[in-house]
Chains A and B, each alone.
Chain A
Amino acid sequence: MENTSTLKKLLFFLLFTSSLYSQSLLYIGTSIGAYHESFDTDDDISLSTSIANFKIGYGNRKNYAIEFILDYMPNKSKIFSSSGTYDGDRYGFNIALVKAFDFDIYALPFIKAGFGSGYMKINRNMQRKLSYGSYNVAAGMFLPINATLDVELGYEYRYVSYQSINTISQSLQYDAHANSVYCGINIRF
Chain B
Amino acid sequence: MKQYIYFLTLLTTLSFMGCGENTTNPIVPDVTSIQINESNISIYSTDSTSYLSANASYTDGSTQDITNFVLWSSSNTDAATVSNNALTGGNGNGGDTQITIKYDRFSDTQPVHVHKLTSYSVLYPDVNTTGTYDGFRALGNFDNNETNRSIATHITWSADNGAVIEVKDDGNVSITFLSGDTNVTTTLFNETNTSSPIGPKSKIFTIN
Contacts and interface: CB of A to CB of B under 8 A. Distances in A.
Interface of A: 32-34, 36, 39, 41, 43-50, 76-83, 106-107, 124-126, 143, 151, 153, 165-170, 172, 174, 181-183
B28 A172 contact: yes
B13 interface: yes
Interface of B: 1-2, 5-6, 9-10, 12-14, 16-17, 19-32, 34, 56, 58-59, 64-66, 69-70, 103-106
B27 A34 contact: no
B27 A174 contact: yes
Contacts of B58: 167
Contacts of B2: 106, 143
Nearest to B60: A83
A33 B10 CA distance: 9
Contacts of B1: 106
B56 to A, nearest CB: 5
A45 B22 CA distance: 8
B64 to A, nearest CB: 4
B13 A167 contact: no
Contacts of B32: 125
A83 B22 contact: no
Contacts of A76: 22
A170 B20 CA distance: 30
B21 A46 contact: yes
Contact of B16 (A36, A43, A126): A36
A170 B62 CA distance: 14
Contacts of A169: 56, 64-66, 69
A75 to B, nearest CB: 8
A181 B28 contact: no
Nearest to A49: B22
Nearest to A43: B27
B9 A153 contact: yes
A103 to B, nearest CB: 15
Contacts of A151: 6
25 contacts: A32-B13, A34-B16, A34-B17, A36-B20, A46-B21, A47-B20, A48-B17, A48-B21, A48-B22, A49-B22, A76-B22, A78-B24, A82-B30, A83-B25, A83-B30, A126-B31, A143-B2, A165-B28, A167-B29, A168-B31, A169-B64, A169-B65, A169-B69, A182-B13, A183-B13
